[in-house]
Structure 1
């Protein structure tokens, strides 16, 4: 009699465990699956290196000349944008040169300053290259060298 009760209780406990344990596991598995579905499919990341720049920075408080040598790559959204950037590299370099030469060393020598500079470069390069063209989709600027002297 005790054996039957133990087996019945064990069976009921096992049934409860498998039913509730499986339901809880399914709930936990569904939550990450929903998050994954919300993300857009990621294509290959496209990087376009830009030749290094050496520019005079705006004079500081002491009036001494300072220079910036910087190299970076652009992270682009698609191959069409990459071709547009390559085709207009002279305009890309001109816009960046004008932007960099307008900066003071004190503005860009902190991590926050570098982040802001990357945002400024993105803004400058998103402007259409042609009068009636569309904006370029520049996703990020990734510095590979950054020297202030």
Structure 2
């Protein structure tokens, strides 16, 4: 028997594909996309590290410049007899203005670093962790303002070019 196109569909018959399942799939897909976006944003945030906004602003606008610091030879704190440290490094600073400030105050820079280095023991400096810690300490002492009320220097890194303990 042929189907009569003028006949109305039987209301008791099941539809071929319910529309509510398509809506559910769309909602699940949207929720999945939102979860992925949030996860990606959180991963980016936690891998970027936290720095102060002023430091971030300096990094955005200033081209990094480098200031070579002449070699130091200092007596280290005694552990196993007399030991010496011969070190040379380069400072990374934020812009040419900072280069000039560092160069103008080179005597202060060298004095601060000399005092820092002469308080160290060879065992503190012989590991990679010790060198990384020393780098942070050098940055901290050089960042201190050279004059009362002056801003901090914008030193962003210390790059060791020679490091000998005898």
TM-score by length of 2: 0.63
CA RMSD of aligned residues (A): 2.4
1:141 aligns with 2:158: yes
Distance 1:131 1:117, change over 3 A: same
> 1:66 maps to which residue?
83
Can you give the 5+ residue segments of structure 2 that lack an aligned partner in the other structure?
Answer: 1-39, 45-55
Q: Segments of 4+ in structure 1 off by > 4 A?
A: 39-43
| Rg larger in structure | 2
TM-score by length of 1: 0.70
Contact 2:63 2:94 in 1 (8 A): no
The C-alpha deviation readout for 1:13-54, integer Å capped at 9, x for no partner, is: xxxxxxxxxxxxxxxxxx9xxx9xxx9757532000001000
Q: Tell me the distance in 1 between the aligned counterparts of 2:157 and 2:69.
A: 13
Q: Tell me the distance in 2 between the aligned counterparts of 1:85 and 1:116.
A: 22
Question: Alignment partner of 1:147: what SS?
Answer: strand
> 1:100 maps to which residue?
117
Count of matched residue pairs: 115
- Superposed, 1:15-30 pairs within 5 Å as none
> 2:142 maps to which residue?
125
Can you give the 5+ residue segments of structure 1 that lack an aligned partner in the other structure?
Answer: 1-30
Distance 1:41 1:138, change over 3 A: closer
Higher percent of residues as helix? 1
